[in-house]
Amino acid sequence: MQLAEKTVLVSGGASGLGAATTEMVAASGGNAVILDVNDAAGTALASRLGDRVRFVHADVTSDAGMQRGIEASLAAFGAIHGAVCAAGIAVAERVLGKDGPQPLAHFARTIHINLLGTFNLIRLAVAAMAENGPNEAGERGVVVATASVSAYEGQIGQAAYAASKGGIVGMTLPLAREFARIGVRVMTIAPGTFDTPLMAGLPETARHSLAQQVPFPPRLGRPAEYASLVRHIFENEMLNGEVIRLDGAIRMTPK
């Protein structure tokens, strides 16, 4: 699927990997709808990129909020052809800490935002894609979810985060198999250590240490590199039901 004249929803599209994806879609001649809770960043990015980009305040964990995002996208551009799920949180907390067991609500919040939020967008976006007419290849839409290398090598303190990302990995193939009948492909990207706002809060020494753990290139990933892979997934019809690690060959240590 070529992105020109197509409409793509991007959750978490106001910053980091999502913002890079929003910019890539607009630069490719497509329409991008930023679904985010950061009003200031979302509005500013949409204003900078022009009429092909809209911002909708939407919480991925809200049924009604995501539905409003779908309706606003259809009203603005007439159809939805893609969804990139880039919203999420990364919280590190040991299960058995100095103050006792990790509160159940902390684990549930990470699962709710990362895993249920991803599923929430996918289910509603694909329902809209099913109404599209197929292209020459019979394709109606493309979904790209975002997992993490932590789904495979979760570190100490990442039980909730790794579980949430592992859930995304686990549902990729079943979703691809189910949506094949309507011509919607489903792929997941598992990034390694990327230079995103989550990383920006770390001390420079910590950022440098993380960068040096990447075999090659020995640096943090760039959001534009994630967005470039998203574009390739849209354009390559044979990519379906798989998880692609985008990590410079890093394998995370226990801590």
Show which residues are catalytic: 161
Closest CA to 16 of 38, 1, 33, 31: 38
Position 147: which residue type? A
Whether the CB-CB separation of 210 and 220 falls below 8 Å is answered with yes
Could you tell me if 36 and 53 are in contact, meaning their C-beta atoms sit under 8 angstroms apart?
A: no
Residues whose CB is less than 8 angstroms from the CB of residue 86 and which lie 6 or more positions away in sequence, other chains included: 10, 11, 12, 13, 16, 17, 18, 21, 146
Alpha-carbon gap, residue 142 to 158, rounded angstroms: 29
Task: Kindly give, in sequence order, each residue whose CB lies less than 8 Å from that of residue 223, ignoring residues fewer than 6 positions away.
Answer: 16, 17, 19, 20, 194, 195, 196
